[in-house]
């Protein structure tokens, strides 16, 4: 039997690791968190697609949200967050976020992983018109052109020849809902934290999925129960890593790392399901990723310019 090192030695190792981690540049730590998030999102997508081959889609979606919500409960109990500061807005965000998750699960089950993942990145394109409508933001002509080009990429992925997959429109609607949830974050983030947002998305998502799940219930095997719990665990971990990435790193510096999800999804789709992205997927994904990244850079540049102008005004 292997002898365990004493507690003091373990504490020393943890302290050295923590010191080495903190010594890394902030953008490096952010990139590593985001890369971990991309890998975990891919694992979640693979598990979702495996389960969706036998279980009902809403059944998979319900337990994805249920177990993820269950996992964050200890932190909610410790730090609060059950009572939102903006109850109406948080309720609306919960409905939008829960609906987005249901659409995402449906897309992963019914589409090749690379297609579903690429269409999800269209959320960045929807953010611009939604910000105009609800946040009264005025984008410049370059961002508007980027949005138009991005939606051309979406149309390419949706098969201009007419041979389209209806699930692709569900994925696109899910991207719209994710963008709507992101706009809601800007409206409630002053007092409501990410755990509260995850709680409300989980509760309302489960509420939307429970009736169709019950009507189409299929008894999971013990192995499938483990996978259902695994989806919740991995999904919660992926979102946690994603939030940590943007908390420590600059968005414009680390955002390109998030597009490794396209590579991971394409590779996983080929290895586990034998799917190969076609030319429409590749061209559309490149256009969507490129324009979404450009929009993110422009938004960050505008935010920095506004902050600098505000600082100069305060100094004056």
How many of the other CB atoms lie within 10 Å of CB of 9?
10
- Residue 7: per-residue pLDDT: 58
How many of the other CB atoms lie within 10 Å of CB of 307?
10
Per residue in 1-19, pLDDT (tens digit) is 455 555 566 667 777 877 8
DSSP 161: T
Residue 186, C-beta contacts closer than 8 angstroms, at least 6 positions apart: 135
Distance CA 182, CA 293 (A): 16
Residue 207, C-beta contacts closer than 8 angstroms, at least 6 positions apart: 98
| Mean predicted confidence (pLDDT) in 19-34 | 82
- Residue 1: per-residue pLDDT: 47
* pTM confidence score: 0.82
Distance CA 49, CA 269 (A): 10
Per residue in 223-250, pLDDT (tens digit) is 999 999 999 999 888 888 887 887 787 7
3-state SS assignment for residue 195: helix
Task: Give the residue among 113, 157, 54 at the shortest CA–CA distance from 268.
Answer: 113
- Residue 155: per-residue pLDDT: 82
Contact predicate 47/230, CB 8 Å: yes
Contact predicate 242/34, CB 8 Å: yes
Question: What phi-psi label fits residue 172: left (phi over 0), alpha (psi between -120 and 50 degrees) or beta?
Answer: alpha
């Amino acid at each position: 039997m292997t002898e365990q090192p004493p507690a003091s030695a373990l504490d020393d190792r943890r302290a050295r690791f923590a010191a080495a981690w903190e010594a890394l540049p902030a953008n490096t730590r952010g990139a590593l968190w985001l890369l971990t998030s991309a890998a975990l999102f891919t694992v979640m997508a693979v598990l979702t697609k495996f389960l969706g081959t036998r279980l009902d889609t809403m059944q998979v979606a319900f337990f994805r949200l249920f177990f993820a919500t269950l996992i964050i409960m200890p932190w909610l109990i410790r730090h609060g967050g059950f009572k939102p500061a903006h109850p109406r807005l948080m309720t609306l965000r919960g409905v939008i976020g829960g609906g987005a998750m249901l659409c995402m699960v449906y897309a992963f089950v019914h589409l090749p992983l690379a297609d579903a993942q690429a269409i999800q990145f269209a959320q960045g394109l929807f953010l611009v018109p939604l910000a105009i409508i609800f946040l009264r933001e005025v984008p410049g002509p370059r961002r508007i052109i980027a949005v138009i080009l991005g939606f051309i990429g979406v149309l390419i992925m949706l098969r201009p020849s007419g041979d389209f997959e209806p699930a692709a429109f569900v994925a696109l609607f899910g991207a719209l809902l994710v963008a709507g949830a992101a706009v809601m974050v800007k409206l409630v983030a002053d007092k409501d934290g990410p755990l509260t947002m995850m709680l409300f998305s989980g509760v309302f998502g489960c509420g939307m999925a429970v009736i169709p799940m019950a009507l189409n219930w299929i008894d999971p095997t013990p192995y499938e129960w483990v996978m259902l719990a695994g989806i919740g665990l991995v999904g919660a971990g992926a979102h946690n890593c994603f939030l940590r990435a943007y908390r420590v790193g600059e968005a414009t510096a680390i955002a390109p790392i998030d597009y490794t999800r396209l590579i991971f999804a394409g590779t996983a789709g080929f290895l586990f399901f034998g799917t190969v992205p076609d030319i429409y997927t590749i061209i559309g994904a490149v256009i969507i990723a490129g324009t979404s990244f450009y929009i993110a850079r422009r938004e960050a540049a505008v935010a920095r310019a506004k902050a600098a102008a505000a600082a100069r005004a305060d100094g004056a």
